[in-house]
Structure 1
Amino acid sequence: MAKILNLETATTNCSVSISNGTEIVAIKENNSLNYSHAEQLHVFIKEALDEASLRFSDLDAMAISKGPGSYTGLRIGVSAAKGLCFSLDLPLISVPTLQSMAYQANAGEGEIIIPVLDARRMEVYSAVFDSDYHEIRGTRAEIIDENAFSEYVAKQKVHIVGSGAAKCKEVLEHSNFHFDNSVLPSSRQMAILSHEKYQAGQFEDVAYFEPYYLKDFVVHTKKKD
């Protein structure tokens, strides 16, 4: 079985796991109110390796949560993953952040899962998955209003999970909507997806890979008097 180091830095949750096949053999994570990835990521990598009694040379691949999410968080994670891939000659795997979130939903057969990450004001990053975690609508940034996701909710239960669920709950009133804003992207759920991609040989070009920001990074400066 392939031993894969999984890094999740798309949100405030700094999360590192080591998987052997689809089994998690070590995980270190901390969700802070402030982004602490720069301080914690490499510490967590070392601690996870120690917990699993592994060395860097035992790894078969690196996996990174590709986004969407925090610009800074994604940059830190991808930079760390690329550096390790170059130095250890490991293949790089990218895992869609929203798809790994979908695995945390407690959805029954035939139900819909919509992971949502909070963006600005009433905007979220979202994608839509069936109960087998197959994507049925791609990732987009969208403004939430009373008509959002209406095409999915008429006939089945729809699970809206993630940091954007609270703002969705404010305006989505259909009884088939179920909300869980406790779901955060975690390297724990990356294991299934990174293993599948490793088995299929779906690797990224380490030199040219970039995170999926979805929107351009904007620097806001104070106006001069």
Structure 2
Amino acid sequence: MALILNIETATKNCSVSLAENGKVLVLKELNEGNYSHAEKLHLFIQDILEEEKININKIDAVAVSKGPGSYTGLRIGVSAAKGLCFATNKPLISIETLGSLAHAISIKNGFIISMLDARRMEVYAAVYNSDHLQIREIKAEIIDEGSFSEYLLDNTVYFLGDGAEKCKEIIKSDNAVFIDDKFPSAKEMASLSYEKFQQNNFEDVAYFEPFYLKDFMATTEKKKLI
């Protein structure tokens, strides 16, 4: 038996699940307009463990969404996961955020394009086939009328994630299907983290860092000219 605590904070969705052998026992998440990870994450973890009457030392691993996504959200999730691993001496598992998101839907044919909002008209996106296998690397890209045309030419393409919303008015192909209300969740992480657990595919807790894809850009106020 493998009990794995899954943590997803790469987007506005603060999500935690406890899974046994890849099956979700309990899921708590909050997807609201504001990022609430700092306030909610540890409460969700505590609530889940209390609800299942499980001591944190009884889990077998901690899994965390590795990105890309929100810089602050990823930092909060990874810091919490690493802290739990250090405290319990349990292994750390990382799950690609866009890959996990792709598992939110099942299709028989065509492609899945998971995409997260990267501000303005830019998205973080990756392409998956109907078996959820990644067939194109993750990119930060500006969306225009020709985006993903090679996939849309002869196939149905399913766009999901908060980055898909900005594509609706730009990508006009009849083969494009935009799916609302799908976002990275600790629910989809459960089976993926269990697969990695069986393979002993663990991260080095001391050195693991989120996958930001782009460098964090801090903004400062411009000085007024006198």
Q: Where on the TM-score scale, by shorter chain, does this alignment land: which range?
A: over 0.9
Q: Secondary structure at the match of 2:139?
A: strand
- Give the total of aligned pairs: 224
Superposition TM-score, scaled by structure 2 size: 0.97
Distance in 2 between the 1:87 and 1:44 partners? Answer: 18
Contact 1:117-1:125 at 8 Å conserved across structures: yes
CA distance in 2 between partners of 1:221 and 1:158 (Å): 40
Alignment pair present for 1:23 and 2:23: yes
Q: Which amino acid letter does the alignment assign opposite residue 205 of structure 2?
A: V
Helix, strand or coil: the match of 1:93? Answer: strand
Query: Structure 2: how far apart are the matches of 1:61 and 1:195?
Result: 9
Residue equivalent to 2:37: 37
| CA offset digits 1:177-209 (Å, max 9, x no partner) | 000232111000000110110001110000000
Output the CA distance in 1 between the equivalents of 2:223 and 2:180: 38
Map of 1:151 onto structure 2: 150
Alignment map for 1:110-189 (pairs within 5 Å): 110-189=109-188
Q: Which amino acid aligns with 1:174?
A: S
Letter in 2 for 1:60: D
CA distance in 1, matches of 2:152, 2:199: 34
- Aligned residue for 2:130, secondary structure, equals coil
Kindly report which structure 2 residues correspond to 1:40-119, keeping only aligned pairs within 5 A, or say none: 40-107=40-107, 109-119=108-118
- Paired position in structure 2 for 1:203: 202
Residues in 1 aligned to 2:163 and 2:169: alpha-carbon distance in whole angstroms: 11
1:40-92: CA deviations, max 9, x gaps? Answer: 11100011111222111210000000000000000000000001101100000
For the Cα contact (< 8 Å) 2:7–2:63, is it kept in 1?
yes
Tell whether the 8 Å contact from 1:26 to 1:49 is kept in structure 2 after alignment. no
Query: Which stretches in structure 2 are left out of the alignment for 5+ residues?
Result: none
Quote how far apart the aligned CAs of 1:31 are.
1.0
CA distance in 2, matches of 1:34, 1:168: 22
Q: Deviations over 1:111-138 (max 9, x none)?
A: 2000110111110000000111110011
Q: Give 5+ residue unaligned stretches, structure 1.
A: none
Between 1:49-58 and 1:151-160, the stretch displaced more is 49-58
Q: Which amino acid aligns with 2:102?
A: A
Q: Is the 1:6–1:187 Cα contact (8 Å) retained in structure 2?
A: yes
Taking the aligned partners of 2:78 and 2:22, their CA distance within structure 1 comes to: 22
CA distance in structure 1 between the aligned counterparts of 2:113 and 2:105, rounded to whole angstroms = 9
Classify the secondary structure of the residue corresponding to 1:201: coil
Moved segments of 4+, more than 4 Å: none
The 3-state SS of whatever aligns with 1:7 is: strand
Are the equivalent residues in 1 in contact too, given 2:106–2:130 (CA < 8 A)?
no
Kindly provide the amino acid, as one letter, of the partner of residue 173 in structure 2.
Answer: H
Aligned residue for 1:188, secondary structure, equals helix
- Residue identity in the other structure for 1:217: F
TM-score by length of 1: 0.97
C-alpha distance in 2 between matches for 1:53 and 1:133: 34
